[in-house]
A = this chain, B = another copy of it.
């Protein structure tokens, strides 16, 4: 049975959202899995008392006395707080006692902790946060989503491989199309690093590279030069676009409400579908790709629904063998480079 450790202390709404999300996941997700809530036992048990119907036979509580705050410096916090919920949850996975970790806590600390404790696959230079962008149809994967501000050309090429394996394994796209985020399609566009990545990706084996793409090509529609599944960019750009999109979605819904005041009185399915189309919580957190294991990073303000869906992604990633496939992909790359 797949065991998913959930950081019960991370996130702005912890432990309420985490415990409610775990409860929803156990009640509604079809898979056979077990949840390990990691955090202060007393706090967790007090919250669990509000969910008397939760299936305790598929739920464990793992004590972690400490918490890493949202504002703490990631690496220092991970080193200084071995009893924190993040370090405890990841250590459990490292020791073989868990299969996946889900946290809405300090993103940098989850990244640093996952990299340090679980390690990177051979040939992976840097782990990346893979952010799915809702589009109303098939989502687009953007990576890096904010973990890595400055990226080398080699790291960005690595993201193309990581994203391709992810889309194959978890989104069922056999030959995902990769685009490099730039300000024009021409060869000479962008800074030195982006231009180098473009040249490297053109020759990269097993990457279905569509070339440079522009901001508009991230979202599917007639304005796209080419449809893409995977968008490669550094974490500075990725994070800004990701957060901008969240605000734009909320702005649109607000403007719609102002323009057509009775819109939300209409038959519920149509409008609730529209709002859900743009709802990140349906995707349930961004997997950290490149590490030896499964670690899912959730938005700090994650709702119970977002946590539930992150648990779903964690189960899928574990069951599909995503991490193993990434390891195999990079082993093949390394072998080819040396031959």
Is the pair A242, B215 in contact by a Cβ cutoff of 8 Å? Answer: yes
Contact check, B221 vs A250: say whether CB atoms are below 8 A apart.
Answer: yes
Task: Please determine whether B274 and A260 come into contact, CB atoms closer than 8 angstroms.
Answer: yes
Instruction: List chain B residues, Cβ under 8 A from A71.
Output: 186
Copies in the complex: 2
Q: Is the CB of A214 within 8 A of B236?
A: no
In the complex, A240→B250 CA distance in Å? 20
Query: Residue A274 contacts which of B135, B146, B216, B259 (CB distance < 8 angstroms)?
Result: B259
The residues of B that contact A254 with a CB separation of less than 8 Å are: 136, 221
- Partner-binding segment picked from A8-16, A113-121, A265-273, A330-338: A265-273
| Interface, chain A (partner B; CB < 8 A) | 71, 135-136, 146, 149-150, 181, 183, 186, 189-191, 194, 214-221, 223-224, 233, 235-237, 239-252, 254-256, 258-260, 263, 266, 270-271, 273-274, 277-278
A255-B136, A259-B274, A274-B255 as given contacts; A219 in contact with B244, CB under 8 Å: yes
Q: Establish whether residues B240 and A223, one from each chain, have CB atoms under 8 Å apart when the complex forms.
A: no
A258 / chain B contacts, CB cutoff of 8 Å? 136
Q: Assuming A183-B239, A236-B190, is B223 touching A250 (CB within 8 A)?
A: yes
How far is A215 from B250 in the complex, measured between Cα atoms in Å?
Answer: 13
User: Once bound together, how far apart are the Cα atoms of A239 and B149, in whole Å?
Assistant: 18
**CA–CA, A274 and B255, complex, Å:** 7
